[in-house]
Structure 1
């Protein structure tokens, strides 16, 4: 009986870890692009990877640009995607041999529109024009991650780090590529380096926590998810991951509390469905309703345990 329970627990744990890895890949992609782009998706990933947590090179003021590129960025910030793409195209046509920056920014717009292959083409054009453009390598690496090509992503992140060795965001993203390649020691080293460069970089702790969970280093994972909540108590994903960690440690009450918080913060319907199912298994349907109401009544503040 005990063996059967152990096997069931192990299978449940692996399923949860798989779900969490999917969460972290989405988070990492959003974070990389938000740090590289002057405009970002307005969704719950913004909470887990707030642009306030790090400053990456490549902000608009650091990249030379013409009037059409500036106009395109303004339109993009205003949500006028079609106008932004048109202005970027004019900028490229007016100076095709010096259009690395508009190609780069147009690639970011394509990413946010879900046109990943077009984005890769634009990042490649930017790199061909300027082979010393770390932001373009980093952005293309992120796009390769989105298309499940971690080896090509790692190559691009290697080049970006060679050109800009003090950008913590790139170390986080290379770590994600290494995780996809099962190079876990290298991934941990990169995440440690990212934290050295920016001790408040939430995605570094989040990814390292996932890495520790994959290695069943549960106490270390818990410490990293605690740090995530300390940095940003309104980011949903760390609560879900910390709940899974609490389950592994046998603290179902703490896990249920974190899942209830996640459900009040998250806008991800798939994630909420998983959280409800998990919370129901811990508390029962009646307990789920009670915990959710108590969390709503407690307000949005004071989530950190």
Structure 2
């Protein structure tokens, strides 16, 4: 089953009109224009070489198919990178999910179903919709293809970390390490190493070493190469472990202001509101007598 059809069937989510129009402008029109331009260039080169026009007609279908496939793949890759940046740089997984769904609907015949499901589930993860993401990816867990298993356990590991589920994260790391190396993406070892590091930081946090966990989270959040989304996520994680109320408040304020539509921003704002209510409740009553 194609990714878009699977998403509609499992979650009931469908592409909206605004996102469909965005896909038309950024993807469909550009692919068609690029394909026509490239084919025109091909015909011009053939004509310049002295090839008779009747001979060109014999080869029209083949070059046209090649051009369409090449530019289709190129443009789709460009659009996919733009969608990823909506999360990494703009902290807007909500818009990313909407546009991803519209792209999967438009390009459902060519889109890889497993990668498509992962892309949408990844945007759901950043919105804090972990149960929906797991439900969507469930079929990949038992798929014999190692890459499917990698996509499933990779996403579930991220979700477990978000939810502070050390037992779940440990199980996902174990499952990732047990996958056969053949057929996995080239960056699989890097992802597995990342999850091991996340597991170790979470273990320190939950096993009575919050200051050490905070140091690890802050190192990631304040790193010179950290993406905005990671700054937000790890600043929130650091706030869970900081003993200094002022420093914790500063981290939460940053996440609330810069977190966009991520679950991190919503969580930070909730905690700040709770702190504000607590201060009002704990504030001493004004007992100064009126003169």
Q: Same fold (TM over 0.5)?
A: no
Length-normalised TM-score, structure 2: 0.39
Length-normalised TM-score, structure 1: 0.38
RCO greater where, 1 or 2, for CA within 8 Å and sep 6 or more? 2
